[in-house]
Structure 1
Amino acid sequence: MTNEDSSIAISCRGVERTYGAGRDAFTAVRGVDLDVPAGSITALLGTNGAGKTSTVELIEGLAPAAAGEIRVLGLDPWRDREAVRRRTGVLLQASGFSGDLTVRETMRMQASLTSTARPIDAALDDLALLDKAETRVGQLSGGEQRRLDIACALLGDPAVLFLDEPSNGLDVESRRRVWDLVAALRDRGAAILLTTHYLDEAQRLADRIELMHAGRIERSGSPADIVADLPSTISFATSSLRSAPPLPDLGQLRVVEHRGTATIETHELQGSLGALLAWASSHDVHLDELRAETASLERAFLALTSKDSSSKDRGSSEHPDQTKEHAA
């Protein structure tokens, strides 16, 4: 495969990954096609065991693909791993930095691995760690250690960035700071591949979503594309219905009552909500705990997980010995 479009920083075509051999062989990644353009953020999401870890490790150059082709910045990440590594940043779920080194020493060690390292103090200041520069890593809190992981991943101002659970363990303020830094790096032209359990993080950051299940990419598109065919919901306490006349036709798909809450599913949120409010006003009904929500990425994700039972016929999508999973 030749990468004719230089704007595509990461390109996968027909990628497969197999563990074992012969009768024990197991295919964890099944014909994955994936593009991450420069200047964009792509979130790779899926159920546990979907094959995300296996896919990302191939793109990072940690193992060769059993089939298909991968290009990162026009290079093969397995055969040209050294050249690719100098232009990429990688944030793992746990970095494993020595607890005996200070924050500054850890950053210096990381800076030695790249020829384009930013000033260490500036990188630490971005993550509110400058006042911890002489503190040993082992003395940092969990959230501070996570911010150090991120500072190291961003130190080389990478052209390609792999983010695995970037805001795991962070407080709200630190989480927003990380989101801003990642978005700024994207705006400077970096290609970012994100895996996360936080669906709101994916919906907030990602230009494109790739939903993976049983080793395959099942749905692709912008966050709006992913939820386009899913219903919106209107919910309120069922106590509102106890002495009220029957609900009118609200254009809904269905009404579900569960644990004291009535939920209306509809593709016409504004019209259905307007009709519901008009009905309540005309019958003097107070709608307790009223909420209206557009279709969400969480709903799309839950629709994907409903395939779990059918996927059992095809087998689990991660090898039994490959239990580590980068993201939801």
Structure 2
Amino acid sequence: MALVEFKGVVKRYETNISVNHLNLEITQGEIFGLLGPNGAGKSTTIHLLAGLLSLDGGEITLDGYSTAKNPLEVKRRLGLVPQELAIYPLLTARENVTFFARLYGLKGSLLKERVEEALEFTGLQKYAKDKPQSFSGGMKRRLNIACSIMHRPKLIIMDEPTVGIDPQSRNHILESVKKLNAMGSTIIYTSHYMEEVEAISTRIGIMDQGKLVAHGTKEELIQQAGLKERLMLECNRFTEEAAEEIRTHPRITFFQRREDSKLELVLQESQTYLQDILFILSKHGLALQKLTRVEPDLESLFLSMTGHTLRDGV
């Protein structure tokens, strides 16, 4: 069942099209990782869904409600964890969460229950009386999350929630994302960190220049892109003659020499034709010291689909 639907969504800034006829469905219960370099349209897409920007074309619905026609119903079902911290440094952690809980209409015993629940979930209960101006970057990020989840939203949008924090806090946030999903929330997660998206996402979307280049599971995207496992061969050295003979082998679809002693290859039916490569090495008096198989990853997938790495321009 689709919880979120983008239908022909367009957003322009003068002559620049930031989101270019976006069509996408996000299923209830999934963690959807949204990847793209700066300027790809990720943040604009998120802001359109959250009702922070108006559409120039198309329609967005959340749980059947239109962001244009029923903005309050959409906001009631939505929790936004923005990239820029949205907390008040002079209020205590508990006061921050309470303030946002009241904005969502929570009152009385339910308000107190949900505030304490959010603080406990983010590991901030023992700091509830402290002001975030004394918090570390990671603690501020966790408070940012607490302020966005206390109303138990159907959809939680996390826009670069781990920027500039320590590894321990990053791991805490990633585990929190998985727990929130297990508790019933659908997650849209944007990041410049491939390993984060790869670790938590059930499905991935890749945006570039305002368009959705591809979306699906990691395995589906790799299959669509036609990526194969790479072989890393290491000898004490590679002669020019041996390297050239390997490079021109008819079943080699990718060849890159890395230093004098390493070659990176993609072979069609690698198991079958690997014997050919070993024969070439033997013929030139070279001994294979190390062979490593490298499965396609999100970095190589992104590069193949957009022509640049995720952090280009960051």
Using the size of structure 2 for normalisation, the TM-score is: 0.83
Root-mean-square deviation (CA, aligned residues, Å) is: 3.1
**Aligned-pair CA distance for 1:167:** 2.3
In structure 1, runs of 5+ residues without a counterpart are 1-6, 309-326
Aligned partner of 2:289 in structure 1 is 287
Inter-partner Cα distance in structure 2 for 1:15 and 1:73 = 17
- Measured against aligned partners, the alpha-carbon deviations of 1:219-246 in whole angstroms (never above 9, x if no partner) come to 1211111112112222244644259966
Does residue 141 in structure 1 map to residue 136 in structure 2?
yes
- Measured against aligned partners, the alpha-carbon deviations of 1:111-143 in whole angstroms (never above 9, x if no partner) come to 212337653333223222222222211110111
Greater relative contact order (Cα 8 A, min sep 6): structure 1 or 2?
A: 1
Aligned partner of 2:187 in structure 1 is 192
Does residue 233 in structure 1 map to residue 230 in structure 2?
yes
**Aligned-pair CA distance for 1:279:** 7.9
Does residue 103 in structure 1 map to residue 93 in structure 2?
yes
SS at match of 2:289: coil
**Aligned-pair CA distance for 1:176:** 2.8
SS at match of 1:97: coil
Across the two proteins, how many residue pairs are aligned to each other? Answer: 300
Question: Please, which of 3, 6, 9 is the counterpart of residue 9 of structure 1?
Answer: 3
Does structure 2 conserve the Cα–Cα contact (< 8 Å) formed by 1:43 and 1:193? yes
SS at match of 1:185: helix
Does structure 2 conserve the Cα–Cα contact (< 8 Å) formed by 1:226 and 1:297? no
| Change in 2 beyond 3 A, CA 1:188/1:238 | same
Query: Which deviates the most, 245-254 or 66-75?
Result: 245-254
| Change in 2 beyond 3 A, CA 1:256/1:47 | same
- Measured against aligned partners, the alpha-carbon deviations of 1:123-181 in whole angstroms (never above 9, x if no partner) come to 22322222222221111011111111122222222101111012223333332332222
| Change in 2 beyond 3 A, CA 1:264/1:12 | same
Inter-partner Cα distance in structure 1 for 2:64 and 2:183 = 19
Does residue 178 in structure 1 map to residue 173 in structure 2?
yes
| Change in 2 beyond 3 A, CA 1:307/1:286 | closer
Aligned partner of 1:321 in structure 2 is none
Inter-partner Cα distance in structure 2 for 1:67 and 1:16 = 5
| Change in 2 beyond 3 A, CA 1:273/1:130 | farther
- Measured against aligned partners, the alpha-carbon deviations of 1:255-291 in whole angstroms (never above 9, x if no partner) come to 2113454211235455566876798799772525x53
Does structure 1 conserve the Cα–Cα contact (< 8 Å) formed by 2:85 and 2:140? no
Aligned partner of 1:320 in structure 2 is none
Does residue 92 in structure 1 map to residue 82 in structure 2?
yes
Paired residues for 1:1-328 under 5 Å: 7-20=1-14, 25-114=15-104, 115=106, 119-228=114-223, 229-237=226-234, 239-242=236-239, 251-260=251-260, 261-268=262-269, 285-287=287-289, 290-306=291-307
- Measured against aligned partners, the alpha-carbon deviations of 1:81-102 in whole angstroms (never above 9, x if no partner) come to 2222122110111223221111
**Aligned-pair CA distance for 1:80:** 1.9
> What residue identity is the alignment partner of 1:46?
G
SS at match of 1:69: strand
| Change in 2 beyond 3 A, CA 1:268/1:93 | farther
> What residue identity is the alignment partner of 2:87?
F
> What residue identity is the alignment partner of 2:227?
L
Q: Percent identity?
A: 27
| Change in 2 beyond 3 A, CA 1:15/1:259 | same
Does structure 1 conserve the Cα–Cα contact (< 8 Å) formed by 2:139 and 2:169? no
| Change in 2 beyond 3 A, CA 1:88/1:267 | farther
